[in-house]
Amino acid sequence: MPVHARPRRRLLVLGAVLAAVACSPGEPGASATSSPPSASGSTTSVQDSGRREVAVFAGGCFWSVESNFEHMPGVVAAVSGFAGGQRVNPTYDQVVRGGTGHLEAVQVTFDPARISYRQLVDRFWRTIDPTDPAGQFCDRGASYGTAVFATPAQKPAAEASRRAAAAALAGKRFTTPVRDAGRFWPAEAHHQDFARRDPVRYGGYTRFCGRAARLRAVWGA
Q: 11: pLDDT confidence band, cut at 50, 70 and 90?
A: very low
Q: What is the mean pLDDT of residues 201-213?
A: 92
The pTM (predicted TM-score) of the whole model is 0.81
CB atoms within 10 A of CB 68: 21
Residues 139 and 209 sit within 8 Å (Cβ to Cβ): yes
**How high is the pLDDT of residue 79?**
98
pLDDT of residue 49: 85
| pLDDT at residue 197, as a whole number | 93
Whole-number pLDDT of residue 25 = 54
Contacts of 21 (CB under 8 A, 6+ apart): 9, 10, 11, 12, 201, 205
Catalytic site residue from 23, 61, 138, 209? 61
Q: Is 23 among the residues known to form the active site?
A: no
> What's the pLDDT score for residue 170?
87
Q: How far apart are CA 202 and CA 218, in angstroms?
A: 22
What pLDDT is attached to residue 213?
Answer: 94
pLDDT digits (tens, 9 = 90+) for 160-205: 999 999 999 988 999 999 999 999 999 999 899 999 999 999 999 9
Q: How many CB atoms lie within 10 A of CB 101?
A: 15
Lowest mean pLDDT among 23-32, 66-75, 139-148, 211-220: 23-32
d(CA 20, CA 89): 27
Task: Give yes or no for a contact between 169 and 131, defined as CB atoms under 8 angstroms apart.
Answer: yes
What's the per-residue H, E or C state across 146-203? EEEEECCCCHHHHHHHHHHHHHHCCCCCCCCCEEECCCCEECCHHHCCHHHHCHHHHH
Percent over 90 (pLDDT), the chain = 75
Contact status, residue 41 vs residue 68, Cβ threshold 8 Å: no
Residues 151-161: tens digit of each pLDDT: 999 999 999 99
Q: What per-residue confidence (pLDDT) applies to 24?
A: 58
* Cβ neighbours, 10 Å, residue 129: 22
Q: Which domains does the chain have, with CATH numbers?
A: 51-219 (3.30.1060.10)
Average pLDDT in the chain: 84
pLDDT in tens, 20-69: 344 655 543 333 333 344 444 444 444 888 999 999 999 999 999 999 99
Our measurement of the distance from residue 125's CA atom to the centroid of its chain's CA atoms, rounded to an integer in Å, reads: 11
Amino acid 4: pLDDT:
37
